[in-house]
Amino acid sequence: MEKEFIELIIKHQGVLQKICNIYFYRNPFKEDYYQEILIRLWKSYPSFKNQSAFSTWLYRVAINTSIDIIRKQNLQPIHSELSKIEFNIPEYEHNIESDRKDKLYLAINHLSDVEKAIIILYLDDYSYKEIAETIGISESNTGVKINRIKNQLIKILENGQK
């Protein structure tokens, strides 16, 4: 089972990276949280019963874990208790505004946790039905919400801020 799981994770590693980048953008503990998501995926793996695609299940667990980590941060803030090397905040270039990728991540960073989950699934070409199932909302409202989020993102991207 472990070998099968690792193979699936390697195959879908890109998804996990995207989720980490969205939820922990510029967070010094990003790598650590990535590991926590992997651990939680492994612990939840027995609950995966092939009723949905592995990627859909992976999105669901990884998004829930990311939101849960943010809750944990609020409940018990993680300060600089780790060593200085571990608490290494990456330096970003000053010409960040010219980078379209960073601008998009910055814009998404303005969204709520739920909106982030919806937009990541939309941008990764999931159908409204799959998005609705993963998030737990109605399919008819999914399209409306996606449109609102897109407008919000475009507004942020065009204005440079919310």
Residues 95-134 within binding reach of another protein (CB under 8 A): 100-101, 103-105, 112-115, 117, 123-124, 133-134
Please report whether residue 19 would count as binding another protein according to CB under 8 A.
no
Interface pick for another protein out of 11, 26, 53, 68 (rule CB under 8 A): 68
Q: How many residues does the chain have?
A: 162
Smallest distance, Å, CB 118 to another protein? 9
Please report whether residue 69 would count as binding another protein according to CB under 8 A.
yes
Whether 143 and 130 have beta carbons less than 8 Å apart is answered as no
Instruction: Give me Rg for the CA atoms of the chain.
Output: 17
Interface pick for another protein out of 50, 91, 158, 161 (rule CB under 8 A): 158
Please report whether residue 30 would count as binding another protein according to CB under 8 A.
yes
What does the alpha-carbon distance between residue 142 and residue 139 come to, in Å, rounded to a whole number?
A: 5
Smallest distance, Å, CB 50 to another protein? 13
Interface pick for another protein out of 71, 97, 127, 162 (rule CB under 8 A): 71
Cβ closer to another protein: 94 or 136? 136
Among residues 51, 67, 34, 63, the alpha carbon closest in space to that of 121 is found at 63
Size of the site for another protein (CB under 8 A): 75
